[in-house]
Amino acid sequence: MDFNDTAEEAQFRKKVRDWIDANAPKELEGELSRAAFGTSGITSQDPLAASKSWQRKKADAGYACPRWPKEYGGAGFSPIESVIWSQEEGPYAALSAQFTVGHGMCGPTMIEWASEEQKGRHLPPLSSGEEIWCQLFSEPAAGSDLAGIRTRAQKDGDDWIVNGQKIWTSAAHLASYGLLLTRTDPDVPKHKGLTMFFLDMRSPGVEVRPIKQANGRSGFNEVYFTDVRIPDAQRLGAPGAGWQVALTTLMNERLSLGSAISVGFPALLDYCKRLKLDGKPATDNPMVRARLAKFAVRDSGLKYTAFRAITALSKGKAPGPENSIGKLVAGLTMQELAMFALDLQGQAGVVGDEADGFFQTLLMRAPAIRIEGGTDEILRNIIGERVLGLPQDLRADQGMAFRDIPTRGHD
Amino acid sequence: MNFAFSDDQESLREQVRRFFADRCSSAVVRKVFEGDDAFDRSLYKEMAGLGLLGATVPEKFGGSGMGPLELCVIAEEAGRVLAPVPLLPSIYLASEILMKAGTDAQKHAWLPRLASGEIIATFAHAEQPGPVTKSTISSVVNGAKLNGTKSPVPHGTTADIAIISANEGDNVALWVADLHHSSVTREELATIDPTMPQARLDFADTPVEPLSGTCWATIEQALDHAAVLLAFEQIGGADKALERARDYALERMAFGRQIGSFQAIKHMLADMYVAATLARSNSYYGAWALSTNTEELPVAASTARVSATEAFLLCAKNNIQVHGGMGFTWEAENHLYYRRANALALALGSQSNWEDRMIGKLCEAAAASEAA
């Protein structure tokens, strides 16, 4: 048992470390390292320009999109190489926030379902950051129950005409293209009447409006479709097979292998060491120590769970189901940790947190972490059903035509 | 990155699991639980025959000469089946202490007999309720005679020898004593888990022999060491309690459905899985620290300990909850896991002590890295 690289891994690590050392925007390192969750932290220059510039450099050197094949502008890394890459990229990975959905979800879906010609046209500029993509799945009335979406696509000659509304779309305001899940047949059960497309976000009838979030920021959008025309050639998969295509995308969403999500424990420990309670460091207080311990074991448990996954990858095996706990643990922990940091200050916690607002920012962002990309409850269902083998809950809409599914709790 | 047990260690696990499946059914656990024997001597002897007791003991002292990782694997499997044998006092504590701090003569005298299961040893440390600190140790050694009281002492009634913490002058040090000596009075104590019996030991001018160069740090190191091994028993128990709950959730019907289809049950089980997974990863960290003898051992051991305690307690109590009324019967085995989970949680000092120790060590480590 050890944490060492194999000889090949060490060689690979040195190569990428040297390249990153020579090419990364070091002037941004401080800002990126101090950024609170959900922010890039960059104020000294235009964050999008900084992101695009780093992405372009990586693409030119063959380091963009680690898992994609080289022919589409990816790096063609093995799973373990891509883990090493992300460890070495470190704080600069935060520059890729606006590309995450495109690179992690839309790209892999295109690789699996688009024509060669479409892949040749769209994947290289997506990889290099020249074009940003978004994923148009969630709707106001369909989140966890994603197959309940209502945005309609109707065939009209060689085109489809789309009407409806999407929500919680990251990067839609920056995106050139989007992956769009639509309902094409409301007369069959909900999973069977869906069809996937990709579309040009500059098409007439597409309107993007930022959502003002509960924390006052705007990282997501609503997207409205009014008679938007999409050529049939931009359909991915057969009409009615949209759910299978969506599963490709969603599988990739949960495939952030080997990267432990940082819950902010080192920041909390540091903060508690500096904070004085009764004239002494908060870390001297037994109550504080007991609470810190609860956070410490979760932080460490996530780290070493990721190490177990990396070990599997290093041996060329698939990681086990333990990987499924990451976001569930991290989301809850971040929220509790932020609340605890403020609690330590008593009444003063409401106005400041003695850590440049780090914990207040985390507190106000935390509710979303527990919802986005699978709610805590959906993640527990996944663990219960796919890992522990428990049966699904009863579904009241099982086998029912989509149009007959009740849509209101009260009439 | 090689943060996993090796193929050889995994095949040892399979071998030990098969052995326990064959030799340590719930009937065996229950026989000790309800009977007069402190532990299952024939099971213990057979474990010795397979080289499991002396896993980490060098061959020249009658052991199998394997390493701490192998003992972690054995501990996990023993924990899964609630093996009613004195691994904690005799192997994880006394044998390991003798290997670290025994004189050559003591090692020759005791290690072969401990590894063969011919005798068992215990570690007599606590004297009163609450955290054990230097100032709570009032047992005294004068002229190689021990006076004082130790309670509770695991397997104190049946142990043949004990490693004992006691003051000599200003120093708390470790001593070894023959518990069959007439100066030792032993009283069996009632405990929540009779498969891990406890006793009160009174020493009146009991002859003792010092180990070599021991002090408070030796004791802390021994407790860290045992904490990692015990964490593996705990994750074994946690996994088994989770499996039992899962199996029942699949089998039991209510309102015309398997109860595992209800999210109230499913989410409880998911939370158990999460705790067990975190605990396993943290215990691997502890195992790595044991096997590399790193300075990180105090942090790693307390992290493994706190996490594994949390997981086994959660899984054991929720296992009863999932079983409903059936779970609270004497006949069902669920209370055996509940008892063991709670007994192990207290076995090396309480959860709050280990939490306190972990944060103290993390602060020290952070201060050291700032200074460097």
User: Would the CB atoms of B261 and A391 count as touching at under 8 Å?
Assistant: yes
Residue B356 touches partner A, C-beta closer than 8 Å: yes
Per-residue model confidence as pLDDT tens digits over B337-348: 999 999 999 999
Distance in Å, alpha carbon of B87 to nearest chain A alpha carbon: 24
Please state which of the ranges A90-94, A157-161, B273-277, B336-340 shows the lowest mean pLDDT. Answer: A90-94
CATH number of the domain enclosing B80: 1.10.540.10
Burial class (CB in 10 A: 0-12, 13-18, 19+), A156: exposed
User: Would the CB atoms of A305 and B277 count as touching at under 8 Å?
Assistant: yes
Per-residue model confidence as pLDDT tens digits over A347-357: 988 887 667 78
User: Would the CB atoms of A292 and B359 count as touching at under 8 Å?
Assistant: yes
Residue A1 touches partner B, C-beta closer than 8 Å: yes
Mutate to test the interface with A, among B9, B277, B318 (most CBs of A within 10 A): B277
Q: Does residue B9 carry a pLDDT above 70? A: yes
Look at residue A259 in the predicted model and tell me its pLDDT: 63
Residues 105 through 124 of chain A touching chain B, CB cutoff 8 Å: none
Contact A277, A285 (CB under 8 A): yes
Q: What percent of chain B has pLDDT over 90?
A: 97
Give the residue from B182, B215, B248 where a domain finishes.
Answer: B215
| Domains of chain A, first to last | 7-101+116-130 (1.10.540.10), 134-253 (2.40.110.10), 265-387 (1.20.140.10)
- For residues B234 and B355, membership in a common domain is answered with yes
Look at residue A407 in the predicted model and tell me its pLDDT: 84
Domain range for B333 is 217-371
Torsion of CA A121, A127, A131, A134, to 10 degrees: 100
In a domain, B73, yes or no: yes
Look at residue B372 in the predicted model and tell me its pLDDT: 79
- For residues B56 and B131, membership in a common domain is answered with no
Query: Which residue among A9, A112, A222, A253 is the active-site one?
Result: A253
Look at residue A254 in the predicted model and tell me its pLDDT: 52
In a domain, B332, yes or no: yes
Token pair of B103 as six digits: 């004189």
Residues A193-213: what's their mean pLDDT? 97
Per-residue model confidence as pLDDT tens digits over B207-261: 999 999 999 999 999 999 999 999 999 999 999 999 999 999 999 999 999 999 9
Please state which of the ranges A30-44, A192-206, A207-221 shows the lowest mean pLDDT. Answer: A30-44
- For residues B136 and B32, membership in a common domain is answered with no
Distance in Å, alpha carbon of A400 to nearest chain B alpha carbon: 20
Residues 289 through 318 of chain A touching chain B, CB cutoff 8 Å: 289-290, 292-294, 296-298, 300-305, 307-308, 310-312, 314
Distance in Å, alpha carbon of A263 to nearest chain B alpha carbon: 14
d(CA A243, CA A364): 33
Please state which of the ranges A133-147, A317-331, B97-111 shows the lowest mean pLDDT. Answer: A317-331
User: Would the CB atoms of A301 and B281 count as touching at under 8 Å?
Assistant: yes
Please state which of the ranges A184-188, A275-279, B176-180 shows the lowest mean pLDDT. Answer: A275-279
Token pair of A209 as six digits: 């409006």
d(CA A405, CA A183): 14
Rounded to the nearest 10 degrees, the angle between the axes of helix B297-323 and helix B216-251 is 30
User: Would the CB atoms of B269 and A384 count as touching at under 8 Å?
Assistant: yes
Look at residue A318 in the predicted model and tell me its pLDDT: 82
- For residues B90 and B164, membership in a common domain is answered with no
Look at residue B367 in the predicted model and tell me its pLDDT: 87
Token pair of A298 as six digits: 């979760």
pTM, entire model: 0.95
- For residues B11 and B103, membership in a common domain is answered with yes
Give the residue from B54, B83, B115 where a domain finishes.
Answer: B115
Residue A261 touches partner B, C-beta closer than 8 Å: no
CATH number of the domain enclosing B181: 2.40.110.10
Look at residue A320 in the predicted model and tell me its pLDDT: 81
- For residues B61 and B184, membership in a common domain is answered with no
DSSP one-letter code for A167: E
User: Would the CB atoms of B278 and A289 count as touching at under 8 Å?
Assistant: no
User: Would the CB atoms of B2 and A3 count as touching at under 8 Å?
Assistant: yes
Question: In this structure, are strands B121-124 and B161-168 parallel, antiparallel, or unpaired?
Answer: parallel
HSE value, Cβ hemisphere, 13 Å, CA-based, for B295: 6
Q: Does A253 participate in catalysis according to the annotation?
A: yes
Reference B144, options B110, B168, B123, B179; nearest CA is B168
In a domain, B278, yes or no: yes
- For residues B223 and B366, membership in a common domain is answered with yes
Among the partner residues A1, A329, A389, nearest to B69 by beta-carbon distance: A1
Residue B282 touches partner A, C-beta closer than 8 Å: yes
ipTM of the shown complex: 0.95
CATH number of the domain enclosing B319: 1.20.140.10
- Contacts of residue B249 in chain A, CB cutoff 8 Å? 390
- For residues B257 and B362, membership in a common domain is answered with yes
- For residues B108 and B132, membership in a common domain is answered with no
In a domain, B259, yes or no: yes
- For residues B160 and B293, membership in a common domain is answered with no
Q: Does residue A38 carry a pLDDT above 90? A: no
- Contacts of residue A289 in chain B, CB cutoff 8 Å? 355-356, 359-360
Residues A229-248: what's their mean pLDDT? 96
Among the partner residues A308, A314, A385, nearest to B281 by beta-carbon distance: A308
Residue A273 touches partner B, C-beta closer than 8 Å: yes
Among the partner residues B3, B261, B274, nearest to A1 by beta-carbon distance: B3
Residue A327 touches partner B, C-beta closer than 8 Å: no
Look at residue B339 in the predicted model and tell me its pLDDT: 98
Residue B239 touches partner A, C-beta closer than 8 Å: no
| Gap between the terminal Cα atoms of chain A | 62
Contact A293, B355 (CB under 8 A): yes
- Contacts of residue B318 in chain A, CB cutoff 8 Å? none
Distance in Å, alpha carbon of A388 to nearest chain B alpha carbon: 7
- For residues B132 and B207, membership in a common domain is answered with yes
User: Would the CB atoms of B303 and A325 count as touching at under 8 Å?
Assistant: no
- For residues B226 and B211, membership in a common domain is answered with no
pLDDT higher for A323 or A253? A323
- Contacts of residue A333 in chain B, CB cutoff 8 Å? none
Question: Number of structural domains, chain B?
Answer: 3
User: Would the CB atoms of B1 and A310 count as touching at under 8 Å?
Assistant: yes
Residues 65 through 94 of chain A touching chain B, CB cutoff 8 Å: none
Residue A323 touches partner B, C-beta closer than 8 Å: no
In a domain, B2, yes or no: no
Instruction: Report which residue type is found at B224.
Output: D
Give the residue from B96, B115, B134 where a domain finishes.
Answer: B115
Helix/strand/coil for A251: helix
Tally of CB atoms within 10 A around A33? 12
In a domain, B1, yes or no: no
Among the partner residues B246, B263, B362, nearest to A296 by beta-carbon distance: B362
Per-residue model confidence as pLDDT tens digits over A361-397: 899 999 999 998 889 999 999 999 999 999 999 999 9
User: Would the CB atoms of B278 and A305 count as touching at under 8 Å?
Assistant: yes
Please report which confidence band the pLDDT of residue A248 belongs to, taking 50, 70 and 90 as the band edges: confident
In a domain, B78, yes or no: yes
Q: CA of A392: which chain B residue's CA is closest?
A: B261
pLDDT higher for B52 or A252? B52
Residues 349 through 378 of chain A touching chain B, CB cutoff 8 Å: 377
Residues A149-155: what's their mean pLDDT? 98
- Contacts of residue A273 in chain B, CB cutoff 8 Å? 363, 366
Tally of CB atoms within 10 A around B191? 16
In a domain, B137, yes or no: yes
d(CA A292, CA B353): 13
Residue B190 touches partner A, C-beta closer than 8 Å: no
Per-residue model confidence as pLDDT tens digits over A94-143: 899 899 999 999 999 999 999 999 999 999 999 999 999 999 999 999 99
